[in-house]
Structure 1
Amino acid sequence: MDDESKVLVIYTGGTIGMLVGHQGLLPEPLFLTETLRSQNRFHDPLQESLYSHSGSVQGFRQWSSSGTSSPLSNPIDTAGHSSDLLVRSSRPIGQPALLTESHPTAIQQPLCRRLSEDLYEANLPSLVTPRSAVPGGSGSKRIRYAILEWSPLLDSSNIEIHDWIRIATEIELNYSFDAFVVLHGTDTMTYTSSALTFLLEDLGKTVIVTGAQIPLSQLRNDAVDNLLGALSIAGHYVIPECCLYFNHTLFRGNRVSKFSSFDLSAFSSPNFPPLVNVGIDIVVNWNDVIRQTGLRRFKVHKDMSPHVANLRLFPGITDATIRAFLMPPIRGVVLETYGAGNAPQRSDLMSSLKEACDRGIVIVAISQCAKGSVSDAYETGRTLLQAGVVPGADMTPECALTKLSYLLSKPELSSSEVRELMRMPLRGELTRPSRSTPTQPTINQNFENIQGLLSQFVRLSSSVSPTPKVVVTSNSMDEATQDAAKPWSWTAAEAVTTEAALVPFLIHLAAARDDVESLKFCIASPSGIDDSQRNAAVAGGVVNCLDPTSGRSPLHVAALNGSSRCTGILLESGALVHLRDSLGHTPLYYAARQGHESVVEILVKVGANLGGSDFDGGFATLAVQNALHSGDQNAIRIWTKAGMAVDI
């Protein structure tokens, strides 16, 4: 429904769902799902629990005096929604029969259907959270989620490359969900989150990896906060990255390393700020969120090279050790160097590295320091570059290794192309060297910037053509006029505020009229203010700014009005194709409903699909039925292109 987000939880194992056994903690099948079903913070389908009536004193008093049954009852959703969610997997879904002496009462398992050799599906019972709203999110929502539990559950120390590919494949098979949460053990969590950032190519939805240091089975634990936090962010925000959530912080998945086996704050991202900080408020750092550009649809790369390894330099390392390490079948090595990329200057060592590079082995240098980057500031670092070693900037060891494995698995890439791509940020995994510092615009520049913005505002707002040009210059003003203008034009910050108030209106209007010139003007930032300042004023970037009355993005408006040229420009500039408006509709729904075939084709090309109330609310189905009833072949063709199964 339009007030629900659908999230798939892929439960691979890890501490979060473990119980104490005879030899220590071990994962127990179905324990986590049954525990969440009994807790009203995670499951309250009838909205009868304390959590659903604690928004006000009056609400709580009415609930407590109403004689409502225990908050732990009513596990079945009878509120008019289906309590099952269709989930697909490359492996059989469900646990083996648990009817044994230790399990005298079997827990009912879903019926798993085999569709092909590597494809299974089942209707999994869903859990639904109480309604909640978060700052900057898409309104008050309930989060409906299903748990796809692996069998057997894995300790994260047993995770391997094929498991990363399995997670990515399950996300691909269930991409109709709004977002994904991966429950995982902490020991290798950063390897998994790094690998997924590369395997999930052109990702357009939120993927969050999380787990716990203390299992949910313990009274005092961090599992509740981590899982609830991950669900809340996944259900309310579209952050099209693979992320890692832990201890009230959402990190970019390929920027994190585990630095503590003891603290609840177990992960650190020393070279890149968090994407989301969760405190009293949820603060999304939209400036740092990756926005996918270009007309490419989501796909999964299903291969990684196992012939990669990490080699940590140490004083006294021998040439024989290095030569043995670089022997076939090794194809790529992450070389952990001293400090800012330094290495011993022995000729035998450098000769071994150069000989390996000449053979086609890709060697990437990163720093052994948790914080900082490799550079060529020292002579001892430059000799590595001369030997053919690639600088890996500030990548973490986990990221460098998984990125190298990902690139080496692409047969179309040569060794030189892999080396070049290792130097480039593909998923925000490394920091580009800073070339220049943006200068603060002058007062006159602020006037000129606002003049250009107001000219566009008048041109788009007027139905008369041609429109007059607004001229506001500091040179043509007398002193009194300039003083009157100071409250909105005197500083760069005030210029940002003015621009942020006008640009969202302009970009929606430009999208509605298919006005390419004005759209490009809004996207390109007419002011001299850098993008980080500008995007801070328009959360999520101007191409995704929402109309507060309808919740529609510029892409919704372009789709509704058939603005095919603006649709393409918005998508190339990072517009989110899966955003839904206040009614729960996607841009694809509006384009199909209005019969804009060219826009439908563009949206489908980049992976758009019908979701929310488009499908669950029956609106798309009703439109198809009307088209069939009236014999509207044009509409039938367009809805078929949009992904509807039309039974003619």
Structure 2
Amino acid sequence: MSVSQLPDEARVLVIYTGGTIGMLLGGNRGGYVPEPYFLTEILKSQTRFHDPMQDSLFSNSSSVQGFRQFLSGGGGSGRSSPSPETTQFPQPTLLVRSTRPIGSATLSPNQKDGPPAPICVKVAENVYEAQLPSLLTPRASVSSSKSIRYAILEWQPLLDSSNIETEDWIRLATEIELNYSFDAFVILHGTDTMSYTSSALSFLLEDLGKTVILTGAQIPLSELRNDALDNLMGALTIAGNYIIPETSLFFNHTLFRGNRVSKVSSYDFAAFESPNFAPLVKVGIEITVNWNNVLRQTSLRRFRAHKEMSPHVATLRLFPGISSATVRAFLAPPIRGVVLESFGSGNAPQRADLILALKEACERGVVIVAISQCLKGTVSNAYEAGRELAAVGVIAGSDMTPECALTKLSYLLSKPELSVEDVRKLIGTPLRGELTRATAANLTQNSLEQNIENIQGLLSEFVRLSTRRFTSAGPQITISLPDGATQDAAASWTSTAAEAASTEGALLPFLIHAAAARNDVEALKFCIESEQGNDSISTPGPSNVASGLANTLDLTWGGSPLHAASLNGSAECVEILLHSGALVHLRDTLGHTALYYAARQGHQSIVDMLVQAGARLSGLDGGFAEMAAKTAAHNGDAGTLKLWVKAGVQVESPP
């Protein structure tokens, strides 16, 4: 039984590759082993992860009143009587696609019975689809505003992460592409090689516009005391409620950028660290998102999964006394790329034979990237030993992790359109926020006069847009200091730029929504430039606002500036917003995307732009759009029907 999507419901695909999180004791040698179907079955039994009737004690304990009503309704045993939907298949399903047959697991010798396998259909070469049973989380009152409906695509066989291969990274990227109609993705993975996978996926998932989170556990769900519960629930909550359009890794209440992490402990719950980049999200009493660090997608290309990685890459760790013969053998064909783990800030022994071996390899076309063996810090040219490497063609890898440098090199070398020089140039260029670009930024504070000038401009735009609906003329506001006042004596503006930024943060969301709705290009550019000129601006709004002013939500109807521009036919503003990081997958309170509104209003040029940027109709949008397309076909309205088809509606050909 397929189920339609509700406005306050997020759909997340969980791809379960294996790892400790779903293991049980009982291997041939008494160790942990993955067990088919165990993860799905245990999550079905826990009301925190599955309560479709919203009738459990957990779902009715958000308030005293709710708990008392639960008791008076006969639920005092701690959980109401289980319904067939919560305890057995079939139950509401979601359509999932995979590169392998779905549900064809071979049961273990001691397992006589298992849940019935879903009906799997081959729809194309190496593409299979099935309706998988869905699980539904309760609607939390504090940490989440949505219920999360999710399906678990379980790999067969399940893998220990030490057995992960390059082909598995490509499989993951492909399955995300095949199921891109889901709102977000959570990948369950073993911890040993999770940082390699998260780094690889950050590059393979090109122009990603949705949340992808890897997580796992140090202790499996089968143990009473474990970290699996918090890791999985935290990943689901973030994936279902926030659009963070990059590959990330969630562990121990922290969401990291996926290509910035390394595993640092085999026994602590804090198994991962991001030494050179602050976390994206911290989960404590509140969920705090560092939106200033979240990547903003500013290209107008559709999402695609790159499906190739070069196998001819390797990592060479320098050590005192390493011989040139060892280095020459390591750099011999078919090697095309090497990550050189150097000393300190990018230093190597200055022996002539060793430098010559590196130089010959570089001249032969081998791309050598120098990173630091230190956990923290970056490669620089502060020392003569480091400059010697650069002189022979070794590329500085800045502060990339070993996992990131290796997977980035493999990704770039797999692109036939890139020359060796192109690869060398791109290695030192941040493609997915994987390295810190060297800058000499001037961090001085704005002067008092500059703060006043900024606020004066904002207030003038505020009054103009408030009082003149479609004209650019309007009253001008002038703010001035009292005669003889100095910056030290101006009591209302004596702090840093914080007060000015808070004022801008209060006004800019109104301005950008009004400008987008009225196709006021100059006002929209003013807002974007104001934000870019002050990185400390924090725009108010719901907790699930995506990064940047271009994605701030209107508190009255939950729409973004892109929604407003698309609904009102403001084509020029749509283009500016897309180049400024506006997300095409954001939904308003009614569950609609900007593409739906543009198609409904008949704005063809906007539909073209949004589709080019990767927008697609799915979930609630898809149902309404199909009805609109059928109505247009019935009425003989070819123009409207063509527009809905362009937006992505599948129309059946007449028999």
Q: What SS is found at the alignment partner of 1:143?
A: strand
- Give the structure 2 partner of residue 610 of structure 1: 617
Q: What SS is found at the alignment partner of 2:530?
A: coil
- Give the structure 1 partner of residue 243 of structure 2: 238
Q: What SS is found at the alignment partner of 1:524?
A: helix
From 129, 132, 138, give the equivalent of 2:140: 132
Asked if the contact 2:456/2:478 (under 8 Å) is kept, the reply is yes
Q: What SS is found at the alignment partner of 1:295?
A: coil
Asked if the contact 2:122/2:129 (under 8 Å) is kept, the reply is yes
- Give the structure 2 partner of residue 213 of structure 1: 218
- Give the structure 2 partner of residue 463 of structure 1: 468
Please give the alpha-carbon distance, in whole angstroms, between the structure 2 residues aligned to 1:489 and 1:472. Answer: 19
- Residues 381 and 483 of structure 1, relative CA distance in 2, 3 Å threshold: closer
2:264 counterpart of 1:251: no
**Structure 1 residue 629: Cα displacement:** 3.2
- Give the structure 2 partner of residue 573 of structure 1: 580
Alignment of structure 1 residues 382-531 onto 2, 5 Å: 382-463=387-468, 465=471, 467-474=473-480, 477-478=482-483, 487=492, 491-525=496-530, 530-531=534-535
- Give the structure 1 partner of residue 83 of structure 2: 74
Alignment of structure 1 residues 80-95 onto 2, 5 Å: 83-95=92-104
- Give the structure 1 partner of residue 23 of structure 2: 18
- Give the structure 1 partner of residue 296 of structure 2: 291
Output one character per residue of 1:553-584: Cα deviation in whole Å (capped at 9) or x when no partner. Answer: 00000110111111111011100110000111
Asked if the contact 1:357/1:389 (under 8 Å) is kept, the reply is yes
Asked if the contact 2:91/2:133 (under 8 Å) is kept, the reply is no
2:42 counterpart of 1:35: yes
Alignment of structure 1 residues 337-356 onto 2, 5 Å: 337-356=342-361
**Structure 1 residue 469: Cα displacement:** 4.2
Please give the alpha-carbon distance, in whole angstroms, between the structure 2 residues aligned to 1:291 and 1:240. Answer: 7
- Residues 213 and 483 of structure 1, relative CA distance in 2, 3 Å threshold: closer
Please give the alpha-carbon distance, in whole angstroms, between the structure 2 residues aligned to 1:536 and 1:470. Answer: 24
**Structure 1 residue 514: Cα displacement:** 1.1
From 105, 122, 126, give the equivalent of 1:118: 126
Q: What SS is found at the alignment partner of 1:622?
A: helix
Please give the alpha-carbon distance, in whole angstroms, between the structure 1 residues aligned to 2:251 and 2:117. Answer: 31
**Structure 1 residue 101: Cα displacement:** 6.3
Aligned length: 637
Please give the alpha-carbon distance, in whole angstroms, between the structure 2 residues aligned to 1:122 and 1:83. Answer: 13
From 563, 588, 591, give the equivalent of 2:595: 588
**Structure 1 residue 474: Cα displacement:** 2.4
**Structure 1 residue 482: Cα displacement:** 11
- Residues 163 and 624 of structure 1, relative CA distance in 2, 3 Å threshold: same
Q: What SS is found at the alignment partner of 1:304?
A: coil
- Give the structure 2 partner of residue 534 of structure 1: 537
Letter of the 1:43 partner, please give it.
H
Please give the alpha-carbon distance, in whole angstroms, between the structure 1 residues aligned to 2:478 and 2:122. Answer: 69
Asked if the contact 1:134/1:282 (under 8 Å) is kept, the reply is no
**Structure 1 residue 527: Cα displacement:** 8.4
Asked if the contact 2:467/2:474 (under 8 Å) is kept, the reply is no
Please give the alpha-carbon distance, in whole angstroms, between the structure 1 residues aligned to 2:511 and 2:161. Answer: 50
**Structure 1 residue 627: Cα displacement:** 1.9
- Give the structure 1 partner of residue 637 of structure 2: 632
Output one character per residue of 1:498-553: Cα deviation in whole Å (capped at 9) or x when no partner. Answer: 1111110110111111111111110011785x32x014767621000000111100
Please give the alpha-carbon distance, in whole angstroms, between the structure 2 residues aligned to 1:63 and 1:152. Answer: 42
- Give the structure 1 partner of residue 3 of structure 2: none
**CA RMSD, aligned part only?**
2.2
Asked if the contact 1:444/1:473 (under 8 Å) is kept, the reply is no
- Give the structure 2 partner of residue 199 of structure 1: 204
Q: What SS is found at the alignment partner of 2:465?
A: helix
Asked if the contact 2:539/2:552 (under 8 Å) is kept, the reply is no
Alignment of structure 1 residues 123-202 onto 2, 5 Å: 123-133=131-141, 140-202=145-207
- Give the structure 1 partner of residue 331 of structure 2: 326
- Give the structure 2 partner of residue 104 of structure 1: 112
Letter of the 2:385 partner, please give it.
T
- Give the structure 1 partner of residue 54 of structure 2: 47
Range with greater deviation from structure 2 (463-472 or 123-132): 463-472
Which consecutive unaligned segments of at least 5 residues does structure 2 have?
1-5
Please give the alpha-carbon distance, in whole angstroms, between the structure 2 residues aligned to 1:289 and 1:225. Answer: 23
Output one character per residue of 1:410-434: Cα deviation in whole Å (capped at 9) or x when no partner. Answer: 0111111101100010000000113
Q: What SS is found at the alignment partner of 2:162?
A: helix
Asked if the contact 1:4/1:612 (under 8 Å) is kept, the reply is no
Please give the alpha-carbon distance, in whole angstroms, between the structure 2 residues aligned to 1:513 and 1:158. Answer: 55
From 269, 276, 282, give the equivalent of 2:274: 269
Asked if the contact 2:509/2:539 (under 8 Å) is kept, the reply is no
2:517 counterpart of 1:546: no
Asked if the contact 1:127/1:146 (under 8 Å) is kept, the reply is yes
Q: What SS is found at the alignment partner of 1:126?
A: strand
**Structure 1 residue 359: Cα displacement:** 0.3
Letter of the 1:594 partner, please give it.
Q
Please give the alpha-carbon distance, in whole angstroms, between the structure 1 residues aligned to 2:343 and 2:489. Answer: 59
Asked if the contact 1:507/1:554 (under 8 Å) is kept, the reply is yes
Letter of the 2:480 partner, please give it.
S
TM-score, normalized by length of structure 2? 0.94
- Give the structure 2 partner of residue 279 of structure 1: 284
Output one character per residue of 1:227-268: Cα deviation in whole Å (capped at 9) or x when no partner. Answer: 000000000000000000000000000000000001011000
**Structure 1 residue 82: Cα displacement:** 7.4
Output one character per residue of 1:577-608: Cα deviation in whole Å (capped at 9) or x when no partner. Answer: 10000111111111111111111111111111
Which consecutive unaligned segments of at least 5 residues does structure 1 have?
none
Range with greater deviation from structure 2 (489-498 or 356-365): 489-498
Please give the alpha-carbon distance, in whole angstroms, between the structure 2 residues aligned to 1:246 and 1:260. Answer: 12
